[in-house]
Structures are given as structure tokens and as C-alpha cells.
Amino acid sequence: MKQYGPEDIPLWGFLLLGAVLLTQSSILFIKARRIDKAPWFWGLIGIIQFPVPSILFFILRRTVWRETR
């Protein structure tokens, strides 16, 4: 059975992954800055992992950080 590594991923795969991570990081930063909840933290976490930070941010925003009206 052949082992696959990073050298087997084409260049467009790395570029796509970079674009997805950068987009996620930017969106998380902007949304966290809007609600004043550690935007730099969410931006940094969003650029190193996908999709867990987005899911966690969405859950926290809908439950813990919900504004009382």
C-alpha cells in the first residue's frame, strides 16, 4: 500500500488550502472584532486549522455570547 505525503499534493491543492484558510481567518477576525471577542485570537486560530474554529465560533456566538435584549 502506497503512503501519501505532502509531496504528492499538487501545487493547486496547496494554493486552494491557503485561500480557504486565509478566507476563514479573515471572516473570523472581522466577526470577532464586530462583537469585541478577541479578534486576533480567532484570526490566528482560523489560519492554522479548518473548519473547527469556524464551527466553535458559531456555537459560542449562538449560545454563550448571545446578547440579552
Q: Is the pLDDT of residue 69 over 90?
A: no
Taking only the tens place, the pLDDT of each residue in 8-49 is 999 999 999 999 999 999 999 999 999 999 999 999 999 999
Query: What's the pLDDT score for residue 67?
Result: 72
Count of positions (residues) in the chain: 69
pTM flag (> 0.75): yes
List, as one string, the DSSP characters of 7-50.
Answer: GGS-HHHHHHHHHHHHHHHHHHHHHHHHHTS-HHHHHHHHHHSS
